[in-house]
Amino acid sequence: MKRYIPVSRVEGTASRQAHCDLPEGTYEREMSKEGFFGPAAFFHHRHPPTGWIEFTGPLQPRAFDLAKLPAGPASPWSAPEVLANAHCRIRYWRLTGDMPRLARNADGDELLFVHAGRGELYCDFGHLGIEAGDYVVLPRGTLWRIAAPAPVDLLMIEATNSGYQLPEKGLVGNHAIFDPAMLDAPAIDEAFLAQQSGETHWQVEVRRRNALSLITYPFNPLDAVGWHGDLSVVRINVRDLRPLMSHRYHLPPSAHTTFVAGRFVVCTFAPRPFETDPGALKVPFFHNNDDYDEVLFYHAGDFFSRDNIHPGMMTFHPAGFTHGPHPKALTRMFQQPKPATDEYAVMVDTRDPLDVGPGAASVEWTGYVDSWKGRP
């Protein structure tokens, strides 16, 4: 049996409601346990906590322009590794054309996020068309390939030795954010059956313990004529998400959790109206996210709390790094010129520290740590 040390206190000049009615001229910073779920303290600072004039050392935030990675590897297992730890492996893959071989991940479930393009996914479960904005969950062990007439850019997030589940939606119930009935699954359709004939020689690249094995068949192993069960590849598009919001309270990123795995979560920021209560914050609060490393991939739109960020970029904020709105966004802390956000972004929050992979280093924007400079 254990519980958090009980404290509930208001000291000095302070608001009693998080993210609202800040003392005049102050900036709010949250320190919290368990991401945004656990006990938290809210400080009212005289200066933005990101107002440093110099920042050295390994805690620096990083930014990568993944859209600049070269297109090309025909295999997902050759795609550049961007960030990884023992429980989560993030790759960015720019597929051009059809995959010549089948792929299978024996290390964990794979989540594909289609950043750009469209294609046809053929897998053990059948055929599924995929397009920009799709999340596709591939259960560990699924045999798959993508046929694509034009380039497809994919963010790949592996739940190493683990699997994807849906978050507990608590008070709002299972049908909020997206209804499970919105999940699409592959079909044993004409296209699937048609691809079973023709080619007579297929190879499968199986990845296990991050090493590849190559299996050659004298037939196409995607040859199921049917299946049944309660496990499948599933797909949901970000435009089908109906994000939670409150007109009187800036909800934390945890309200936007889409998938949960063993030691990390995947959240989606989708367009939503700004808060309308005059005292409610309209931008993210400053925070350190002390228990989680934070990764954000910018998919589409105008990123309201960040400057100099465009679609295809990824930012990495290690746990303990204080961050919050950029100075320009901070001027809109309580008043936004637009009625709603216009951004789609994928967030990965990992409980364990991530290492930057060689693929990311080649497209790093080294000036990111300085991007908070300047007065709001």
Q: Which residues bind Fe ion (CB under 5 A)?
A: 289, 294
Whose Cβ is closer to Fe ion: residue 177's or residue 345's? 345
Q: How far is the CB of 198 from Fe ion (least distance, A)?
A: 49
Q: Is 150 helix (H, G, I), strand (E, B) or coil?
A: coil
Whole-angstrom distance, CA of residue 275 vs CA of residue 185: 35
Contact present, 113 and 297 (Cβ < 8 Å) = yes
Please state the closest distance from residue 324 (CB atom) to Fe ion, in A: 8
Q: Are strands 293-302 and 313-317 parallel, antiparallel or unpaired?
A: antiparallel
Task: Please state the closest distance from residue 249 (CB atom) to Fe ion, in A.
Answer: 17
Write down the least CB distance from residue 53 to Fe ion, Å.
Answer: 22
**CA neighbours closer than 13 Å in the CB half-sphere of residue 341:** 23
Q: Judged by CB, which is closer to Fe ion: 275, or 294? A: 294
CA atoms of 31 and 38, how far apart (whole Å): 10
127 DSSP β-pair partners: 122, 187
Nearer to Fe ion, 289 or 371 (CB): 289
Residue nearest to Fe ion (CB): 294
Q: Which of 174, 152, 156 is nearest to 80 (CA)?
A: 156
Helix ranges (DSSP H) in 17-141: none
CB of 242 to Fe ion, least distance (A): 23
- Shortest distance (Å) from residue 142 CB to Fe ion: 32
Q: Which is nearer to Fe ion, 104 or 263 (CB)?
A: 263
Exposure string over 180-196, b if 16+ CB within 10 A, otherwise e: eeebbebeeeeebeebe
Q: By C-beta, is 32 or 232 nearer to Fe ion?
A: 32
Which CB sits closer to Fe ion, 134 or 294? 294
